[in-house]
Chains A and B, each alone.
Chain A
Amino acid sequence: MSHATTGLKDHRPAPAPAARPSLSSRSLPRLAPLGFAAVSIALGVGVSLAAGWHSRTQWGLLSALIFLAVSYAVTTAVENQRQARDRLATSVVWVCFLVAVVPLVSLLWTTVSRGVERLDGYFLSHSMAGVLGWEASGGVYHALIGTLEQVGIATVLSAPIGLLTAVYLVEYGRGALARAVTFFVDVMTGIPSIVAGLFILSIMLIAGLEPSGLMGALALSILMIPVVVRSTEEMLKLVPNELREAALALGVPKWRVILKVVLPTAIGGITTGVMLAIARIAGETAPIILVVFGNQLINTNPFAGEQSSLPFYIYEQYKIGEVAAYDRAWAAALVLIAFVMILNLVARGIARWKAPKTSR
């Protein structure tokens, strides 16, 4: 605060006595940052080559530092220090964004480029039955089945519960109970997946249950319910009150208003929320390790016997530590990431297409 005011005071007298033609102070041309960038990259690469550095990251870092220094110095000289600070902040913010993009690009690129090596019809249609870790065969079929069944059951369990809870919070909820539910839904979204797995595990230990896909689905639904509640709640809040009031004024009972007016209006957003929740739990590994145990063979029955799942399969293959197993892990990772990303894209597509027309 204090700095800015003094800065302004220092600055203000300057343009006043200046000659008539220019009311504004001197400023750099708009494309000046590009010039700085060119200069600093040239300098950075030059110095790096001279110093004999090999890492491209170091080249990039040096160039970035030179860029910051050059633009700060030049701006201070030509404009003033406040402008220089502004430019510095702009550059830093841009760098932050670029820094975040690098790992995403690297991760996606590695997954796709390593994944396509092994990904084919054979990989998708065969299990790991009788395949040794170092052998370059085997596939992901059993894991695909496991993931689809576990996620399917989890969705069937959590979507209605989540939906009804959201309806309660938005349409009925008042008082201490509603506040408690809201708070614990928020807290529940932060439960680590491994704790959800441990919870089901402790039930299994107490009740003497065997590991199965169903147990995994139960653990996954603990993770899924709060996500569904949160997104559905947001969507229901967007439904204009005029719609509810109009229906109520016609004498329609409240539950029919909810079923026939509120939910259909928000259905696009609710679908999106459920799909994003599915995308989230499809990638969960930790609960599967604890309560489904994994399996090399095809087990299509989620209610009895150990099963595999895509994320578990990736972990299992990674732990083998052989080249062939790494290849399988990357191929499975590509399958999983494609599944998750497609769900994400479709969900957001639906959200845009079916967005409720709000009065706001």
Chain B
Amino acid sequence: MASTTPADTPPAPPVPGPGSRSTGRLGDKVFLGLSKGSGILLLVIMASIAVFLSYRSVIALSDNEGNFLTTFEWNTAGDPPVFGIAVLLFGTVVSSIVAMVIAVPIAVGIALFISHYAPRRVAAPLAYVVDLLAAVPSIIYGIWGALVLVPYLEGLNSWLDEFFGWTYVFEKTEIGIPRSLFTVGILLAIMILPIVTSVSREVFLQVPRMNEEAALALGATRWEVIRLSVLPFGRSGIISASMLGLGRALGETMAVATVLSPNFLVSLHLLNPGGGTFAQNIAAKFGEANEFGRDALIASGLVLFVLTLLVNGAARLIIARRKEYSGANA
């Protein structure tokens, strides 16, 4: 928006001296070239990520004896090599869904707290505290999750098993510490809270004051104001915030690699230890992989890349559409 006005002014300023004009033009050309070049470089990087990953994936996939999509095995050192992403796709999606189910309502609550409930004076520092959660490196979440959260969740797990075991999902059929997809989901929920919160908060703060004041003038309570004007206005913002969070959760590596005790089984018993995710599998299998094994891991990484690309792209498109919408309103 701010950049429209300079564009309307003529690009070459009316300078009388021919000498100064030529240097000005040369400098402009160089500078424009440099900055445009960096922009293009970014596009080239994105394109080459896709190309290079695909190239190595093709090498791996051409020798794969199993079906890449449906095989429940990851044996790249075998002869013939057999590997498939079924378990990884399942684990990635399930742990991310658990994370979303936990994180999105809480994040919306925090965003409302900061934008509408907290006393003005403390709202900004509180927002900062939530942002600090985002600054903590994922490996520290990882060891905290593995050494503090996992032992702590044993109580919750046995409680869920006892009272909600009939749901099948919460039935614990294997004994063991809860290094399960469910625990991973909880940890991921904590990790994506900040991004979901900050995007939702931004949207909630954009709600036209008129809408809120109109509701207040009709005698609405604070909750009614939120339900009548804030939440409807912020709905698409919440959706895109959740999708950004989902993108983070899908690609998270270290927190999953430290917490999960992986196996190659698909099970909807979420409390049982086991399962795996794309990123976790890459980090865990990379050390012992030969060159072919690395290509196979790259192939699984390509799937993850496409997955996050789709989710993030969709989220950004929703936000972009919303921007125009709110611009028309303002």
Interchain CB contact under 8 A, A315 and B139: yes
- What residues of chain A lie closer than 8 Å to B279, measured between beta carbons? 192, 194, 286
Query: A93 on the interface (CB 8 Å rule)?
Result: yes
Q: How far is the CA of A279 from the CA of B291 in the complex (A)?
A: 33
Task: Give B307 Cβ to nearest chain A Cβ, in Å.
Answer: 9
| Per-position binary interface string of chain A over residues 235-265, scored 1 when its CB falls under 8 Å from any chain B CB and 0 otherwise | 0111101001100110111111011000000
- What residues of chain A lie closer than 8 Å to B169, measured between beta carbons? none
Query: A296 on the interface (CB 8 Å rule)?
Result: no
Q: How far is the CA of A172 from the CA of B254 in the complex (A)?
A: 40
Interchain CB contact under 8 A, B221 and A85: yes
Q: How far is the CA of A245 from the CA of B315 in the complex (A)?
A: 36
Query: B73 on the interface (CB 8 Å rule)?
Result: no
Stretch at the interface among B173-181, B266-274, B298-306: B298-306
Interchain CB contact under 8 A, A181 and B221: no
Q: How far is the CA of A57 from the CA of B9 in the complex (A)?
A: 64
Q: How far is the CA of A286 from the CA of B31 in the complex (A)?
A: 36
Query: B239 on the interface (CB 8 Å rule)?
Result: no
- What residues of chain A lie closer than 8 Å to B28, measured between beta carbons? 253-255
Stretch at the interface among A36-44, A159-167, A300-308: A159-167
Q: How far is the CA of A93 from the CA of B200 in the complex (A)?
A: 14
Interchain CB contact under 8 A, A206 and B52: yes
Interchain CB contact under 8 A, A251 and B49: no
Interchain CB contact under 8 A, A93 and B109: yes
Interchain CB contact under 8 A, A168 and B39: yes
Task: Give B163 Cβ to nearest chain A Cβ, in Å.
Answer: 13
Task: Give B87 Cβ to nearest chain A Cβ, in Å.
Answer: 17
Query: B247 on the interface (CB 8 Å rule)?
Result: yes
Query: B38 on the interface (CB 8 Å rule)?
Result: yes
Q: Most chain-B CB neighbours within 10 Å: which of A164, A186, A202?
A: A202
Of all chain A residues, the one with the shortest Cβ separation from B159 is: A58
- What residues of chain A lie closer than 8 Å to B126, measured between beta carbons? 97
Task: Give A289 Cβ to nearest chain B Cβ, in Å.
Answer: 6
Interchain CB contact under 8 A, A101 and B35: no
Of all chain B residues, the one with the shortest Cβ separation from A262 is: B6
CB contact list, B1-47 vs A, under 8 A = 1-3, 5-7, 9, 11, 13-15, 23-25, 27-28, 30-32, 34-43, 45-46
Stretch at the interface among A65-73, A104-112, A121-129, A132-140: A104-112
Task: Give A293 Cβ to nearest chain B Cβ, in Å.
Answer: 9
In-complex Cβ contact of B38 among A161, A255, A279 (8 A): A161
Task: Give B128 Cβ to nearest chain A Cβ, in Å.
Answer: 8
Query: B322 on the interface (CB 8 Å rule)?
Result: no
Task: Give B298 Cβ to nearest chain A Cβ, in Å.
Answer: 5
Query: A215 on the interface (CB 8 Å rule)?
Result: no
Interchain CB contact under 8 A, B136 and A107: yes
Count A interface residues, CB 8 Å. 111
Interchain CB contact under 8 A, A241 and B6: yes
Query: B74 on the interface (CB 8 Å rule)?
Result: no
State whether A289 and B294 are in contact (beta carbons under 8 Å apart), knowing that A83-B221, A167-B35, A177-B39 are contacts in the complex.
no
Task: Give A320 Cβ to nearest chain B Cβ, in Å.
Answer: 12
- What residues of chain A lie closer than 8 Å to B291, measured between beta carbons? 205
Of all chain B residues, the one with the shortest Cβ separation from A314 is: B139
Task: Give B60 Cβ to nearest chain A Cβ, in Å.
Answer: 11
Of all chain A residues, the one with the shortest Cβ separation from B307 is: A192
Of all chain B residues, the one with the shortest Cβ separation from A257 is: B6
- What residues of chain B lie closer than 8 Å to A184, measured between beta carbons? 42-43, 46
Query: B162 on the interface (CB 8 Å rule)?
Result: no
- What residues of chain B lie closer than 8 Å to A92, measured between beta carbons? 109
- What residues of chain A lie closer than 8 Å to B46, measured between beta carbons? 184, 187-188
22 A-B residue pairs with CB within 8 Å: A97-B110, A97-B126, A103-B190, A107-B140, A107-B148, A171-B6, A173-B39, A177-B40, A181-B40, A186-B316, A189-B312, A191-B308, A192-B279, A194-B282, A194-B304, A201-B294, A202-B298, A237-B2, A254-B6, A283-B139, A285-B139, A315-B139
Given contacts A255-B27, A314-B143, 14 further A-B contacts (CB under 8 A): A94-B113, A94-B117, A97-B114, A110-B147, A194-B279, A194-B282, A196-B49, A202-B298, A229-B42, A286-B283, A289-B283, A318-B146, A330-B143, A344-B132
- Interface, chain A (partner B; CB < 8 A): 1, 4, 7-8, 11, 55, 57, 82-83, 85-86, 88-90, 92-97, 99-101, 103-104, 106-107, 110-111, 160-162, 164-165, 167-174, 177-178, 180-181, 183-196, 198-199, 201-203, 205-206, 222, 225-226, 229, 236-239, 241, 244-245, 248-249, 251-256, 258-259, 279-280, 282-286, 289-290, 311, 314-315, 318, 326, 329-330, 333, 336-337, 340-341, 344, 348
